[in-house]
Amino acid sequence: MDRILEVENLKKYYQRIKGFSRKVIGTVKAVDSLSFSINKKETLALVGESGCGKTTIGRCIVRAVEPTDGKMSFFDSAGEKKDLLSLDFEQLKLIRRDIRMIFQDPFASLNPRMTLMNIIGEPLKIHRITKSSAELKDRVAELLKMVHLDPDYMNRYPHAFSGGQRQRIAIARALALEPSLVIADEPVSALDVSVQAQILNLMKELQEKTNLAYLFIAHNLAVVRYQSDRIAVMYVGKIVELSDKNQIFNRPQHPYTETLLLASPNPNPHERHDKLHQVKGDIPDPANRPTGCAFHPRCSYAQEKCKHETPHLIDVSDEKTEPHLVACHYWDELNLLTKLPTRHPEA
């Protein structure tokens, strides 16, 4: 499989500082020794509760924040492996054409004082892609058509548009430089449910047209169900399970994944249950990660060992299937999701 990105043992720690004395009172391990890769043209979803480090990973990849440690490699269009952490200014500028980000809130991410022409045309100007203003206008019109907006809108301002339309504008801007990897950080969670599916479909359609890969960040498994090829489930700065989406939905091996599945709404009305399960207990503070398996205080299967020994990610698949990575001491003794066996049929 052709890789586009490899992340190895990525760490991002923040110092927690108090008051005027700026005394360091703790270390937030926002991302802690985390490894994964993304293949060309695929969608890898990163799923987990608030504060588990999803956005921090995206920001490390685009070098908006400096990782504390680790290695990140990007494979450019010529297939050449680039070490993302040792790029000089010019190389970083070039890589930023290939890796773009879409944010959660299209109301905040678009400059209200710029017309669509300027919003979408700005990256084309910065990177000197278009040679004349006529060419720039043509390209912006083409991008607006790609996201199913009328090119006649190009002289309007973002306030004239709805949330869904603004997210289309943000997508057009992200795609202006024909990236090969787009990091979409909760791209639909600020939108009305009725609009979410349209944006998700658009993202899929554009992926098929332009062959890009997505790192798709979401809180909730239901959103990434139709969108992703593989899913990485995160818990307090670490990946606890990573596999093909059908494996995650039908044969989850980590108790936290099971909990997320039971807590996410089932789109099939015949299998809908009146009460959604809640993920019990509070999300731990990443500056004060529980010992052993960080999920143990909330896990209904936890045993003594889970309090003291940190489980590592291991591949539990048989050789015929795709890798299925799980970090749980007791994955092979648990029979997860037997309570609702038909709840998540093949997506």
Q: Which of residues 44, 45, 53, 144 is near ligand ATP by CB under 6 A?
A: 53
Q: Which token pair is 259?
A: 């909990």
Binding mask 132-161 for ligand ATP (x = CB under 6 A): ------------------------------
- Taking the C-alpha atoms of residue 13 and residue 237, their distance in angstroms, rounded to an integer, is 10
CB of 50 vs ligand ATP, minimal distance in Å = 3
The binder of ligand ATP chosen from 44, 52, 101, 181 (CB under 6 A): 52
Say which entry of Mg ion, ligand ATP, none residue 180 contacts (CB below 5 to 8 A, set by partner kind): none
Among 7, 42, 54, 232, binds ligand ATP (CB under 6 A): 54
Q: Which residue has the tokens 């017309």?
A: 115
Q: What is the 3-state secondary structure (H, E, C) of the chain?
A: CCEEEEEEEEEEEEEEEECCCCEEEEEEEEEEEEEEEEECCCEEEEECCCCCCHHHHHHHHCCCCCCCEEEEEEECCCCCEEEHHHCCHHHHHHHHHHEEEECCCHHHHCCCCCCHHHHHHHHHHHCCCCCCHHHHHHHHHHHHHHCCCCHHHHHCCHHHCCHHHHHHHHHHHHHCCCCCEEEEECCCCCCCHHHHHHHHHHHHHHHHHHCCEEEEEECCHHHHCCCCCEEEEEECCEEEEEEEHHHHHHCCCCHHHHHHHHHCCCCCHHHCCCCCCCCCCCCCCHHHCCCCCCCHHHCCCCCHHHHHCCCCCEECCCCCCCCCEECCCCCCCCCCCCCCCCCCCCC
Cβ at position 106, least distance to ligand ATP in Å: 16
Contact set for Mg ion, span 39-98 (CB under 5 A): 55
Residue 298 binding: pick among ligand ATP, Mg ion, none (C-beta 5-8 Å cut-off by kind): none
Token pair in block for residue 130: 């278009």
What does 224 interact with, of Mg ion, ligand ATP, none (CB < 5 to 8 A by kind)? none
Of 97 and 289, nearer to ligand ATP (C-beta) is: 289
Interface residue with ligand ATP among 20, 21, 50, 346 (CB under 6 A) is 50
Given ligand ATP, Mg ion, none, residue 286, with its beta carbon under 5 to 8 Å by kind, binds ligand ATP
53 touches, from Mg ion, ligand ATP, none (C-beta below 5 to 8 Å by class): ligand ATP
257 binds ligand ATP (CB under 6 A): no
Q: For residue 70, state whether it binds ligand ATP (rule: CB under 6 A).
A: no
Instruction: State in angstroms the smallest separation of the CB of 14 from ligand ATP.
Output: 3
Q: Is 109 in the site for ligand ATP (CB under 6 A)?
A: no
CB of 103 to ligand ATP, least distance (A): 10
Stretch that binds ligand ATP, among 45-53, 68-76, 81-89, 172-180 (CB under 6 A): 45-53
Do residues 218 and 55 make contact, with C-beta atoms less than 8 angstroms apart? Answer: no
Between 101 and 149, whose beta carbon lies closer to ligand ATP?
101
Least separation in angstroms between CB 24 and ligand ATP:
12
Cβ pair 344, 273 in contact under 8 A: no
Q: Of 52, 57, 88, which Cα lies nearest the Cα of 72?
A: 57
CB of 251 to Mg ion, least distance (A): 28
Question: 22 or 320, CB closer to ligand ATP?
Answer: 22
Per-residue contact track with ligand ATP, 202 to 231, x per CB under 6 A?
-----------------x------------
| Residue with smallest beta-carbon separation from Mg ion | 55
Angle between helices 133-146 and 163-175 (to 10 degrees): 130
Cβ–Cβ under 8 Å, residues 230 and 5: no
> Where does this chain bind ligand ATP (CB under 6 A)?
14, 28, 30, 48, 50-56, 219, 286
Chain residues that interact with Mg ion, rule: CB under 5 A: 55
